[in-house]
Structure 1
């Protein structure tokens, strides 16, 4: 047992995206994930939506892992573990709704046990194990959740009446959003979101907006107490010792996969003989002699 000072750099983000079908949950999740990592190859999508995650492959070389019914909690847990083993930096679970209401999900399991209230004693621990896996994962996790759809008749800017689709209640077990760092609700098919839950304070009482990569960067900046990726790279470029590079690498745990190439390039430069030689007056004179077409020996 050891008492340690709290450090936000140790935090892994748990982000929720919920909305009605067609509101852009998967696309928004990918942009958010890219903002967090800066590298699509470090992103994995656990896809329960009939391989719809591959529709956005033009964005970058992210990874997909498709799962099909039965959508048991244990199948989701196994999928997350596969992504962890592959050292993914961000895992998108698209969507968690199937774990609750899909074929073989918790509601289906409870119904097949008899549909009695006491049958939840067998189902709830399995669902909680799934939630705990999300919360304890070694990577950042973004979950998408379907919302029940409702419709209304509204007038657009030109005064014409049109049918508007709305998302209402999230289709997962009540209370899930309270486990999250931030929960974004997509409110229409223009991809506008607001934050229904926000532990960061970055989005509280702010107007609706469209998620993009900068949203993910803003969240990572919060994780790192304001120390962002540009600052990490600036420190690397000015570092002159191997020990200094090791310190920078450990200082930014959430950016380690992103800055690894910068660290290795700088390490190679530091280790090169040319970098460690400080030109003195004699070397400068020799260089001038060579430039003038003679050699140092004939000087």
Structure 2
């Protein structure tokens, strides 16, 4: 089990009117802008399709050749590629797969300043030891053995993990195993032979909709884009892709084609500022909310435990308001 500690969450206060200042967000419209964004990519496929190697190459390219982070559930198989083509990364091996542990690992990676994180693989946090399915199985005892009711506990845990992935302040690439079926296909000699074919990803159904770019790989190392907000990848199929040249470069060109955005570190500095007031923190919360960064994984500056940027701003803002009374 990860030794990163338990996540810290701001509890509800005794004065609901103050809490509602944060919970009751106004609905406002503002001019749309095309901002620079970070990569959110998933690669799914059967065993041996090249998911890990491709993800590492893409991460190397996205991160400008600098050292990046990998959250490794595959018994450190990624380390076999360390140094190949100059790829350098730091690894956080995981042996149990509670989704809340992934949130903690992401908070540590954000604190360390890694510009890119690879999760290899996200499937373990669904069906591995202590994964979401295990959490539902454990929770059902509270509801008379009702598995459906167990999702009352499992769904929030799953959602918090996905929110932390999507709110990470750098690029994120997640690999996922595919459900495998064997089908007969004709080979180059005109004979039928059984071939492993990947079906949907081993994660919660519909998880692919959360990523901006989704690709699948087959046993021949062929990569096919299933979904892409990046126009360069629409309906593209790449044979044995070079992750740096074929994917990272055009991806970066598109990601960086927009208005410079505020560095999330600026929001963190503002949240911790000694001059912050209850009103300024509420305004900061609204700004962070509008940027979709409330769930950004964040290390609590006082406890040193994982939390989220939004929870910390809210916690401090309410504390300052209470101190004024």
Normalized against structure 2, the TM-score is what?
Answer: 0.65
1:215-270, Cα deviation, whole Å (9 max, x unpaired)? 1111000011289xxxxxxxxxxxxxxxxxxxxxx7998xxxxxxxxxxxxxxxxx
> How many angstroms apart in 2 are the aligned matches of 1:45 and 1:155?
38
- Would the alpha carbon gap of residues 220 and 165 (structure 1) be closer, same or farther in structure 2, given more than 3 Å must change? same
User: Does 1:225 find its partner at 2:257?
Assistant: yes
Structure with bigger helix share is 1
SS of residue in 1 equivalent to 2:237: coil
The aligned length equals 227
SS of residue in 2 equivalent to 1:82: helix
What residue in structure 2 maps to residue 127 of structure 1? Answer: 158
What residue in structure 2 maps to residue 44 of structure 1? Answer: 69
What residue in structure 2 maps to residue 196 of structure 1? Answer: 226
> How many angstroms apart in 1 are the aligned matches of 2:40 and 2:112?
19
Answer yes or no: is the 8 Å Cα contact 2:72–2:92 preserved in 1. Answer: yes
Answer yes or no: is the 8 Å Cα contact 1:185–1:194 preserved in 2. Answer: yes
Deviation at 1:67, TM superposition (A): 0.9
Answer yes or no: is the 8 Å Cα contact 2:34–2:258 preserved in 1. Answer: no
5+ unaligned residues in a row in structure 1: which ranges?
228-249, 254-299
> How many angstroms apart in 2 are the aligned matches of 1:252 and 1:34?
24
Deviation at 1:8, TM superposition (A): 2.9
1:191-213, Cα deviation, whole Å (9 max, x unpaired)? 11111111112222333443320
Answer yes or no: is the 8 Å Cα contact 1:224–1:252 preserved in 2. Answer: no
SS of residue in 1 equivalent to 2:53: helix
What value does the CA root-mean-square deviation take over the aligned residues? 2.3
SS of residue in 2 equivalent to 1:202: helix
Answer yes or no: is the 8 Å Cα contact 2:224–2:238 preserved in 1. Answer: yes
Q: 2:216 aligns with which of 185, 192, 214?
A: 185
What residue in structure 1 maps to residue 306 of structure 2? Answer: none
Deviation at 1:154, TM superposition (A): 2.3
Deviation at 1:125, TM superposition (A): 0.6
> How many angstroms apart in 1 are the aligned matches of 2:257 and 2:234?
18
User: Does 1:106 find its partner at 2:132?
Assistant: yes
> How many angstroms apart in 2 are the aligned matches of 1:217 and 1:102?
34
> How many angstroms apart in 1 are the aligned matches of 2:83 and 2:195?
30
> How many angstroms apart in 2 are the aligned matches of 1:2 and 1:177?
28
Deviation at 1:58, TM superposition (A): 2.9
What residue in structure 2 maps to residue 280 of structure 1? Answer: none
> How many angstroms apart in 1 are the aligned matches of 2:229 and 2:108?
28
SS of residue in 1 equivalent to 2:44: strand
Q: 1:97 aligns with which of 108, 114, 123?
A: 123
Deviation at 1:139, TM superposition (A): 0.7
> How many angstroms apart in 2 are the aligned matches of 1:98 and 1:38?
28
Answer yes or no: is the 8 Å Cα contact 1:19–1:185 preserved in 2. Answer: yes
- Would the alpha carbon gap of residues 72 and 251 (structure 1) be closer, same or farther in structure 2, given more than 3 Å must change? closer
Answer yes or no: is the 8 Å Cα contact 1:106–1:123 preserved in 2. Answer: yes
What residue in structure 2 maps to residue 62 of structure 1? Answer: 89
Normalized against structure 1, the TM-score is what?
Answer: 0.71
> How many angstroms apart in 2 are the aligned matches of 1:38 and 1:90?
10
Q: 1:12 aligns with which of 9, 17, 38?
A: 38
Matches within 5 A, 1:109-258: 109-114=135-140, 115-186=146-217, 188-211=218-241, 212-214=243-245, 215-225=247-257
